Amino acid sequence: MSRPTQDGPTPVRASSPREQRRVVLATVVGTTVEWYDFFLYAAAAGLVFGQLFFEPAGSGLATLLAFGSVGVSFLFRPLGAIIAGHLGDRYGRRVVLVFTLLLMGTATALIGLLPTYGQIGVTAPVLLVLLRILQGISAGGEWGGAVLMSTEHAPAHRRGLFGASPQVGVPLGLLLSSAMMAIMSAVAPGDAFLTWGWRVPFLLSIVLIGVGFWVRRSVEESPVFVEIADRKETTHQPLLRLFKKHTPLVFVAAFIFAGNNAVGYMTAGGYIQRYASDPAGPVGLDRGPVLWAVTISAVVWLVSTWSAAALSDHLGRRTTLAVGFVAQLVGVLALFPLVNLGTFGSLLLGLSILSIGLGLSYGPQSALNAELYPASIRFSGAAASHATGSILGGAFAPTIATALVQATGATTSVTFYLAGMTVIGLAATLLLRDRTGIPLGPDHEEEQAVSPIYGLSRA
């Protein structure tokens, strides 16, 4: 496979190894904090929010409403993507990353202070959903900025590996949020967990915000954006230009993300936690073991994600993603047969097999998105495809899974749904030419503007 070189009339200034390490650290820490906050809500939705905020609706509907509140935030990710994309392409990547971190952390901490339905009535779920919407706006802008900070600082031949830093923040956030929930479930068992135990992980976000803010403020701006700004070539209407010239590409990239995201939200969205720990359900495990199984599987997801990102520097993004979706399909088919055996070991095995495929189909997506779009509108492109893919994939995956089981009485329908989303992700991947190693600087906008979609010569 041929690789484009970084030759050009005015190469973008290369970051020093020290600065590259700082960027990786800042990206990992920042995205971990962001996704800790985001996944913490999803875990709480599966475990306590139905009872505490939606209980008058009745047990079954309360669960659907709690998972629906998880999905509502995804509908506001495009707004976050629009705002962040515009600011990121005009004023830089770093300022957006600091803002999204503060917004997410503040919303999370306030959720930890919310009164319940029993205390203030219908105002409680309304405030809960409003704070979840703020989380969605933050998440919509976070990913694109983190991706570009890591990949635009990276050497071309290691872009996949460096691009893994925002990706591993996702399983790290899941690991941290699940571990905190598991610890508090042991520290405050039974009614104590419902009364105050669930609040502690949310309030911990205040400390994490401070750490993430300090780390992110310490890094330099992306050298690609610095080059664009120095030339005074920033785009005044990046989103308009993006959809005028690159609409098909935005949706192809979105379907690739959706194929991974829908399956990932079986754990990240809190569905498995609820399904496996429901006393009236077919599995009936205690809350603590379920949370620890999710925590351990997040480690598998982390290792798989990092490995796949590094592998994509050698095999190419397209090939690695295709292998990943095939592995993910195997995990989808094995998941519920293993979970329904009703033991901690079978639950952990099912989640771990699934996590291998999830990581393989997730790790390369950071570098993939950076290499799809021209430099001047790259933030808008990456943010738009990510936000759109989130809606098509993970937004209502737990709600859909819950409704399917309630309608059919079995998890087979959920398996078909997840398998279908995986196949969609694979098909979208195969529509793209591989662009691994393409120059990312503004001198190569003409090359970057050539559509990577088979059958299209120029977007």
pLDDT tops 60 at residue 11: no
- Residue 2 resides in a domain: no
Domain membership of residue 224 as a residue range: 23-449
CA distances to 73, 82, 203, 212 from 206, rounded to whole Å, are 21, 27, 6, 10
Please give the pLDDT value at position 203.
95
Return mean pLDDT, the chain.
88
Find the CATH number of the domain harbouring 208. Answer: 1.20.1250.20
- The confidence band for 9, taking pLDDT boundaries of 50, 70 and 90, is very low
**Predicted confidence (pLDDT) per residue in 167-184, tens digit:** 888 889 888 998 999 999
pLDDT tops 90 at residue 452: yes
- The confidence band for 234, taking pLDDT boundaries of 50, 70 and 90, is low
- Residue 248 resides in a domain: yes
**Predicted confidence (pLDDT) per residue in 368-419, tens digit:** 999 999 988 898 898 889 889 988 998 788 889 989 999 999 999 999 999 9
| 206 token code pair | 């205040």
- Record the pTM: 0.82
- The confidence band for 3, taking pLDDT boundaries of 50, 70 and 90, is very low
- Residue 458 resides in a domain: no
- Residue 95 resides in a domain: yes
Name the residue with higher pLDDT: 87 or 374.
374
The number of folded domains in the chain is 1
pLDDT tops 80 at residue 188: yes
- Residue 5 resides in a domain: no
- Residue 84 resides in a domain: yes
Asked if 352 contacts 403 with a C-beta cutoff of 8 angstroms, the reply is no
- The confidence band for 232, taking pLDDT boundaries of 50, 70 and 90, is low
Name the residue with higher pLDDT: 23 or 364.
364
- Residue 160 resides in a domain: yes
Asked if 169 contacts 145 with a C-beta cutoff of 8 angstroms, the reply is no
- The confidence band for 250, taking pLDDT boundaries of 50, 70 and 90, is very high
